[in-house]
Structure 1
């Protein structure tokens, strides 16, 4: 699939997204066994290498500093380097705020990370993180080879390597899902356009094919949470030049107002979760979904296939059958949608770190295919089983539990399954949804078709650094306000909120992005 690089300017308006991660089985190491030829470990007092890890608050999770995965890391990297790897938990929901506090106090872990490129830009600009070119050249040769030039480019600011982006192997982002059993009961086909979807949602509301108390045709949560609007916005957007698309905030894109007006219409016709704007934890949406009340929704491309959704849904409503669809077609007949860039989380080394060389050695060690395999899949028969030649994680609690998909919080050099071959990766992704493998492959294919990726600005946007978080919060609030507004008030409210957004920093960010974009194009000549 050819990925077209375009821009999603500013913290992305959630009409695009809401907010998801080689070797053969014979190569996998066993726990606590060295994975490479051992050299004599340095002598003296062990050095403590601190590494950030997300605390996702998952029920039944192990001690994030003492579990199967951390012991493997210390046995196979720590002992060989006379080091103790200590993990510093940071709440996932507070990752940027907590990182800012730790950085300001000079207490950030030696290896810190964030998914927010604007945060990396800011710390690069104020000289708060280390330049990594020389360190990579000295101690990161395997890491550099594994990530490759394209991925590393996403961590470069003003021509300097300031972050180490993880390689993202799964590029699908959002997915759209509908109750096929409801469609069959009503004798309706899969909707392939907005109009068809609208008529289907009306039928769900009026005929309640599931016979549930409080049917919800389209399930939503507060903007910015797992549930989203997918590529609805793109299906309304009019034509723009590449420069306009790259530099214009979504609020000003031709057709964007119509997209939100469509959602406003659905809400006022009781086709959307009635109290979605109050659901800021997705608990209500998940409950409605697993209790069989929702007919259509948009979330991560594999969301209904995940066991925390599929198992309770099957227990509550055995006949429920969600299937992936593509329904937001634009005027060109395309289902234009955003996909992930090739990069994932940004790893940074704070200027306060005393262990920068050891930090790079740690990431370099992690790029070994055998190490990655163990951290993602563990030991056969204990942490995974082989199914049709592919590893399948055995979900567990306690020491063996993975608190994030394939331990992405511990595998900082990769986001997504890594088996050394993309076709195997996709098959393995599908295998992580036992019983739904065919649906998983279908959803992945749908959501990696007609895609574009966010444009990467190689120069920090000072205005985005200054106003980015404020604008991101405004995006979410504006979207929810507009959807629940009275139809007669929509147009004036839209214009008012957009004017406030642009005055709050939106115009400054747009103008600066125009300047940066033009400079980048000039440099190519």
Structure 2
């Protein structure tokens, strides 16, 4: 295995996974658990004797209305019936608020009370824990107890969890690489006799028409739905369409704030806001609940969010009920100087799973993740029992959205399936079809959105050495970026230029320059070693 630590440099974006909600009951849940073949894995054998061991596992508490007990539901009982009993263990889940996950994790780590299996999407946090010698090296444990897990993830995915030559985290495999999408009300365009916009200027004219002509005939029309920076409802790949030409070194080592054209991108957003083309109180919407309400009540004409956001049941179903004729379609509208629609895509790695140094159950933790990599286990955790939790259509499982014990509080139970982010049917084509199948009646829209948002993509550059300055300043800089963006969008146009320069200078002084200088140093060393 390649033992280089890979640290990702990504634009400051926070991606919240959507929750699945719907209707149904939890009949036959226990039957589903007992009839699954998933107990047959390489971990199978005589269960250890004596008092059962408690394995603690982090789980996100997303605060979904009507969510089940995160420690006692269809999925947790399946885990304990099929892994716990086989290993004389009790798997106990430790809820951590999704919106406070890093802060809460820091507190748990400092008190030596973090779950045996902990995780975070923030790679800088993992690097910081590794530097502090706060997490367990995993190489020997994987060699002894993680054969199936290692084979499933592969060398490339695992390499993202290496720090100073040691495997300290287990990155989940990301099976869907599309990230941000953009969507527009096609029924509004049809009402106005306007085409789908394919450039910034065309989009601007469309937004003005939405504002002035209100084709949805709603109170408080919102041409572009936005929420506070860091939430869903962002600005898509608008910034990329303004960025000018750069060398690879400049592009990957400098913060977005210094990229040529970035100032113009924010000035464009400022113009839209001051012309009442953007959600008026977006900066106060720090949960995106207001934006959700505006979309589902039919007030929004255009927005950017996860590539599949308008297809999710918590958006598509209330929108259909409130505005039956509403029709959001995916678009590509931010063309750059090359004539391309450059947009960021996910890398192959997802959430970072690690075992704190304080854990007394590291061996059992690896066995648990190894068990989870079994295809039968992953299938049940994502889709459950046929006829109860899913139905098969043309060979593709489709989730039956439910409440109560059978409810999945994250997309395909990603909070419980820690070795994978995304659909896992063992075939990329089936995975895409399964993604599209999650949107009843919108399959073609889903496939079109996925195609658009995996075209003209780039991914974050990977460094083979951790950036110590990023470990130290990364969270502070991320928070600053969010605040800077919101302030610049809402300020008076006459104040924009001076405010932009002032805020960027403060950002660089707060650690931005230190991170950039270290990026350059690492990048140049990598090039010299090629």
Please state which band the TM-score falls in when normalised by the shorter chain.
over 0.9
Q: Aligned pair 1:159/2:165, yes or no?
A: yes
1:334: which partner in 2?
340
1:238: which partner in 2?
244
After superposition, give the CA deviation of every residue in 1:375-424 in whole Å (9 maximum; x if it has no partner).
00000011111112111111111111111000000000000000000000
Q: Please report the TM-score for the alignment, with normalisation by the length of structure 2.
A: 0.94
**Partner SS state of residue 128, structure 1:** coil
Q: 1:19 deviation in Å?
A: 5.2
CA root-mean-square deviation: 1.5
Q: 1:470 deviation in Å?
A: 1.0
1:486: which partner in 2?
492
Q: 1:20 deviation in Å?
A: 3.5
Match for residue 33 of structure 2 among 31, 54, 68: 31
Q: Aligned pair 1:383/2:385, yes or no?
A: no
Q: Please report the TM-score for the alignment, with normalisation by the length of structure 1.
A: 0.95
Q: 1:521 deviation in Å?
A: 2.2
1:122: which partner in 2?
128
After superposition, give the CA deviation of every residue in 1:71-123 in whole Å (9 maximum; x if it has no partner).
11111111111111111111111110111111000111110000000000001
1:453: which partner in 2?
459
- Paired with 2:243 and 2:110, the residues of 1 have a C-alpha distance of 41
**Partner SS state of residue 31, structure 1:** helix
Query: 2:372 touches 2:378 (CA, 8 Å); kept in 1?
Result: yes
2:441: which partner in 1?
435
**Partner SS state of residue 462, structure 2:** coil
Query: 1:9 touches 1:248 (CA, 8 Å); kept in 2?
Result: no
Q: 1:464 deviation in Å?
A: 1.0
After superposition, give the CA deviation of every residue in 1:450-488 in whole Å (9 maximum; x if it has no partner).
001111223221111111111111101100110111111
- 5+ residue gaps, structure 2, are 1-5, 19-30
Q: Aligned pair 1:136/2:142, yes or no?
A: yes
Match for residue 196 of structure 1 among 189, 197, 202: 202
After superposition, give the CA deviation of every residue in 1:296-345 in whole Å (9 maximum; x if it has no partner).
00001011111111111111111110000000000101000000110000
Query: 2:8 touches 2:462 (CA, 8 Å); kept in 1?
Result: no
- Paired with 1:13 and 1:67, the residues of 2 have a C-alpha distance of 35
Q: Aligned pair 1:220/2:219, yes or no?
A: no
1:13: which partner in 2?
12
- Paired with 1:282 and 1:357, the residues of 2 have a C-alpha distance of 40
Match for residue 303 of structure 1 among 305, 309, 317: 309
2:27: which partner in 1?
none
1:284: which partner in 2?
290
Q: Aligned pair 1:169/2:171, yes or no?
A: no
2:357: which partner in 1?
351
Query: 2:7 touches 2:123 (CA, 8 Å); kept in 1?
Result: no
Q: Aligned pair 1:508/2:510, yes or no?
A: no
- Paired with 1:71 and 1:18, the residues of 2 have a C-alpha distance of 29
Query: 2:7 touches 2:466 (CA, 8 Å); kept in 1?
Result: no
- Paired with 1:408 and 1:18, the residues of 2 have a C-alpha distance of 14
Q: 1:59 deviation in Å?
A: 1.0
- Paired with 1:273 and 1:18, the residues of 2 have a C-alpha distance of 20
**Partner SS state of residue 463, structure 2:** coil
1:392: which partner in 2?
398
